[in-house]
Structure 1
Amino acid sequence: MLNLSVLLEDSASRFGTRPAFSSGSTDFTFHQVNVMANQLANALKKLGIREGEKVAMTCPNCIWFPVIYYAVLKTGAVMVPLNILLKSDEIKYHLQDSQAAFYFCFEGTPEMPVGKLGWNAFDEVPGCRDFVLIGANKPAGERSYTLAELMAGEDEDFDSCVTDAEDTAVIIYTSGTTGKPKGAELTHINLYCNAVLSAELFSLSQTDVQLIVLPLFHVFGMTVLMNAGLYRAAHGILLPRFDAKDVIENINKHQVSIFAGVPTMYWVMASYIHPEITDQQVGNALRICISGGASLPLAVLEGFEQRFSVQVQEGYGMSEGSPVVTFNDPKIGRKPGSIGTPVWGVCVKIIDQEGQEVANGEKGELIYKGHNVMKGYFRRPDETREVLRNGWLHSGDIAIKDSDGFYFIVDRLKDMIIRGGMNIYPREVEEVMMKHPAVSLAAVVGVPDDKLGEEVKAFIVLKENQQVAEREIIDWCRAMLASYKCPRYVEFRAVLPLTATGKLLKKELKNNL
């Protein structure tokens, strides 16, 4: 028997007076967070929530995210966190697909009216019984409440539901880069084991301060920062959005020792100069930096480390893997550019198209099995069977393993470009272009070609005050790559499209050719 809410409850019982989270200008102790979660759990019980029912939530990184998250788990229901950037039709899809019975939605601002979008979606989903606004101005409707009125006067104690370790705790929706998003069912034991091993990997302790700017609706921030932080009673600083200036100021103000981010965050921070806070001040506070969510270009890693004199430890994970699969464990060793070695309890191998394991140094699909593997895609047995075979989860990522047992991601199988029958991995080309002194960021995609099937196109963001011709970029690549891998087209852009979690949206680049 295991309920993931034990992470919060245990720290509240042992370290109740210590700060659990700082949200805005307010500190919240472990005891306070647990009490608020208990009050909300009692309110949900009065509304008739049942074990196993789905509760969706659209909420930025603020104190209400962990409160709602753990309140739902305490009742034995299933948490369904949603991307805060979704529009009404997308929210409607997620509410219907997850069969959500309740929906918590942040009010937002006039510029970003999240609450209005959420209510419009909720109002078109009859199976979703109650709407709870995280804010003051609830919409007129019989089934709507504000979070404050729902919690008012509720008992501060709650006897958490006894759930089985294999029960679904959270449904995380994949990004939907191909087709409709799918909900990965993660169990209590999936998420518990991943939180514990994350805490071990980072040597997390009560003295650590974590900056939580990764969105908590994404499994990376949820597990590696929120859940692991509660497990070890660390202090989390909640930031609702990434801004290099805010990040650096919070690192300095709170003496943040752990920062976790996606590659684009490191890319921005490596070039941002704060007018008052020195690189040394930032580096003196940080103990470890963690990168995940996408492959970190070696040029970005080296630039960040040189500036702040702190190591960036890269790992690899997926929503379907709770998420951590491999990591550059300091106890084992580190190889820049590598995603490290398998974490505790997880087996990894590289296979060819026939399912046979390949030799070291050869490219193939990365597959894995262990306690981190999801139960399956919610209500999608065919897609589950396709990706989960004999207990092994097929990642769709192309990787190699070296003779020391370290893994390196080559590219996404779906992103691979086939030019005249030759396989081209975009990341290899991007890494070469990122070494050019004028290039700040690069993305490579395949574009249709009548003769060869696909051609290679590069989208490039230049460094400030830099100019370079398309021909120069192509010649730069030709000096270091086989000619068939080199881009035939180069387009310069001021910015590249990113997801809410900071991943490059190559699908959008392709759709707007």
Structure 2
Amino acid sequence: MSEKVWLEYYPEEVASSYEYPKQNLAQFMIDTAKKHPQHTALFFYGKKITYEQLLKETYRFANVLKGLGIKKGDRVAIMLPNCPQSVISYYGALMIGAIVVQTNPLYVERELEHQLNDSGASVLIALDHLFKRVKNVLPKIEVRHTIFTSMKDYLPFPKNILYPIKAKKDGLSMEVIYDQNTHSFKKLLSIESARPINVKMDVEEDLALLQYTGGTTGVSKGVMLTHYNLVANTLQTRAWVYRSEEAKERYLATLPFFHVFGMTTLMNLSMQLGGTLILLPKFDVDMTLKLIDKMKPTTFPGAPTMYMAIINHAKIKSYDLSSINICISGAAPLPGEVQETFEKLTGGKLIEGYGLTEASPVTHANNIWEKRKLGSIGIPFPDTLAKVVDPDTGEELENGEVGELIIQGPQVMKGYWKRLEETSDALKDGWLYTGDMAKIDDDGFFYIIDRKKDLIIAGGFNIYPREIEEVLFEHPAIMDAAAVGVPDEYRGETVKAYIVLKEGASTDEKELEAFCRERIAAYKIPRIYEFRESLPKSLIGKTLRRLLVEEEKEK
């Protein structure tokens, strides 16, 4: 690691180190609006919003929050899918020095109560059809004001008229009961001024974001990310996509902004580069293909499940996907077959990267146009150090040995909100301990083996689920797969594989066992197979192995 051998494989256009401006994250939008006021910032189901319009709406929202008594350091929870209101709320809160708490709109009441109480949010912005859920939680939390908005608020005519009919058909209630603490987003903005706001910040110390981890390793924790963390990671990502041109890129925003991957690689990056965000509130493969064909996006960050759904679509050949130049895959391992097929279909580049909430999130990526390695997460970003250490002793391991991946860089979090013990476990001597098991090769390319906590120990052998899943993905009949450890009287644990077959394909346990036997050691071969229609996924497509494990425990 001390030699940083990976720098040999940096493109000529990418420096190993950069200066990161000490500014409010919202400054990206302000600067771009000055340079490209009439350029389209957002495209939402036919509605176009220019940078000038977006900045005015954002200033209005910042003044709305100020009028409600929200000040620097207060927490503002945003419970919205990808829509113009989510962008306006996010940057408006940042402008007054408030701390954004991104909240998943799919959260049930228990999850919502935990996050809002833990963060101490003063305001919550949500969709109208979530009113009942929010109302049920309000007596248990300290939120002072709720602001409700509707999808139709930023839809063009006649979609804004037709939306309520569709919502009713889908069983969504748009009814909100307003009072002195329950407000309409649209009305508040209509009566507020667009005067600029500039709050003095200490960007290396002041938080921009409390981003809650998915809770895959227990209770969800608030990751404290500063303005400087997020500015740095945006510019690190910008450096990596060096062929992207200012005010010319179009970003297909199917990854949710309330997830840190979508927030950085789509929303923040597009604001910095003067791009156009093509907003989709949720991933739908048919709508995604239509948008690619019609709107010609150039950049499409996503999760492997999104790319899988596209390449397996029955009518894929009837869509023009040739506009896509760059796709960065994250959140889950990218199968090699998916990468190769997607690149042939589009002519663009699909690379695997790596990140985690605690690092804003991106720390590694494969080169887009230069040397890359299949199955690798690539090499560290500029100003980012990474090494593999023994998880027990902390000693750096030799190349090829599996240990815990640790990271250092300007994008690494300040710590966990109100959790000193967890912070001291994760941050040691300036290094972030990721909890991911990895190895590094002689060229400095990193490979994730698995989550430390997902390790299966069967008969004394360490087995990494990802290695088994990679083998299963090679089988021509398999569309999706997951491997977990289940209790076994003799071995302690044994491997169970969950399989989703491609449409019209077939296979059985006997054939899969023979297939695996040729490719992995006998002790790693799944002993139990279960065929399913689908696997449990997070909103960005990460397979939730812990839910499969919990199912097994209940059995």
Question: Shift of the alpha carbon at 1:158?
Answer: 1.9
Q: Does 1:401 align with 2:440?
A: yes
CA contact (8 A) 1:8 1:231 kept: yes
| Count of paired positions | 504
Aligned partner of 2:113 in structure 1 is 92
Counterpart among 303, 306, 323 of residue 262 in structure 1: 303
Q: Does 1:313 align with 2:313?
A: no
| Counterpart code for 1:100 | A
Q: Secondary structure at the match of 1:384?
A: helix
Q: Deviations over 1:216-242 (max 9, x none)?
A: 000001011110110010111000111
Question: Shift of the alpha carbon at 1:430?
Answer: 0.8
CA contact (8 A) 2:378 2:446 kept: yes
Gaps of 5+ in 1: 109-113
Q: Secondary structure at the match of 2:140?
A: coil
Question: Shift of the alpha carbon at 1:297?
Answer: 1.6
Gaps of 5+ in 2: 1-21, 151-173
CA contact (8 A) 1:19 1:29 kept: yes
Aligned partner of 1:31 in structure 2 is 52
Q: Does 1:274 align with 2:295?
A: no
Q: Secondary structure at the match of 2:301?
A: strand
Aligned partner of 1:128 in structure 2 is 143
CA–CA separation in structure 1 for the residues paired with 2:473 and 2:74: 47
Question: Structure 1 stretch 333-342 or stretch 387-396: which is displaced more?
Answer: 333-342
Aligned partner of 1:4 in structure 2 is 25
Aligned partner of 2:221 in structure 1 is 182
Aligned partner of 1:210 in structure 2 is 251
* Shift in alpha-carbon separation, 1:421–1:276, aligned structure 2, 3 A: closer
CA contact (8 A) 2:435 2:453 kept: yes
Question: Shift of the alpha carbon at 1:332?
Answer: 5.4
Counterpart among 231, 234, 245 of residue 286 in structure 2: 245
Aligned partner of 1:103 in structure 2 is 124
CA contact (8 A) 1:366 1:399 kept: yes
Aligned partner of 1:22 in structure 2 is 43
CA contact (8 A) 1:122 1:131 kept: no
For residues 35-114 of structure 1, what are the structure 2 equivalents within 5 Å? Answer: 35-108=56-129, 114=130
* Shift in alpha-carbon separation, 1:413–1:275, aligned structure 2, 3 A: closer
CA–CA separation in structure 1 for the residues paired with 2:397 and 2:336: 25
Q: Deviations over 1:369-410 (max 9, x none)?
A: 110100101001110111111110011111111111111111
CA–CA separation in structure 2 for the residues paired with 1:119 and 1:27: 33
Q: Does 1:420 align with 2:459?
A: yes
CA contact (8 A) 2:213 2:223 kept: yes
Q: Secondary structure at the match of 1:371?
A: coil
Q: Deviations over 1:276-298 (max 9, x none)?
A: 734xx20x211111101111122
Q: Does 1:118 align with 2:139?
A: no
Question: Shift of the alpha carbon at 1:331?
Answer: 6.3
CA–CA separation in structure 1 for the residues paired with 2:259 and 2:139: 25
Q: Does 1:299 align with 2:314?
A: no
Aligned partner of 1:345 in structure 2 is 383
* Shift in alpha-carbon separation, 1:161–1:277, aligned structure 2, 3 A: farther
Question: Shift of the alpha carbon at 1:140?
Answer: 4.3
Name the % identity.
39
CA contact (8 A) 2:326 2:368 kept: no
CA–CA separation in structure 2 for the residues paired with 1:141 and 1:449: 57
CA contact (8 A) 2:366 2:378 kept: yes
CA contact (8 A) 1:73 1:79 kept: yes
Question: Shift of the alpha carbon at 1:253?
Answer: 0.8
CA–CA separation in structure 1 for the residues paired with 2:189 and 2:29: 19
CA contact (8 A) 2:339 2:351 kept: no
Q: Secondary structure at the match of 2:72?
A: coil
Q: TM-score, normalised by structure 2?
A: 0.89
Aligned partner of 2:6 in structure 1 is none
Q: Does 1:223 align with 2:264?
A: yes
Q: Secondary structure at the match of 2:443?
A: coil
Question: Shift of the alpha carbon at 1:60?
Answer: 0.6
Q: TM-score, normalised by structure 1?
A: 0.96
Aligned partner of 1:498 in structure 2 is 537
Question: Shift of the alpha carbon at 1:5?
Answer: 0.9
Question: Shift of the alpha carbon at 1:465?
Answer: 1.1
CA–CA separation in structure 2 for the residues paired with 1:253 and 1:123: 46
CA–CA separation in structure 2 for the residues paired with 1:485 and 1:276: 38
| Counterpart code for 1:182 | K
Q: Secondary structure at the match of 1:427?
A: helix
CA–CA separation in structure 2 for the residues paired with 1:45 and 1:164: 19
CA contact (8 A) 1:398 1:413 kept: yes
Q: Does 1:153 align with 2:191?
A: yes
CA–CA separation in structure 1 for the residues paired with 2:139 and 2:178: 11
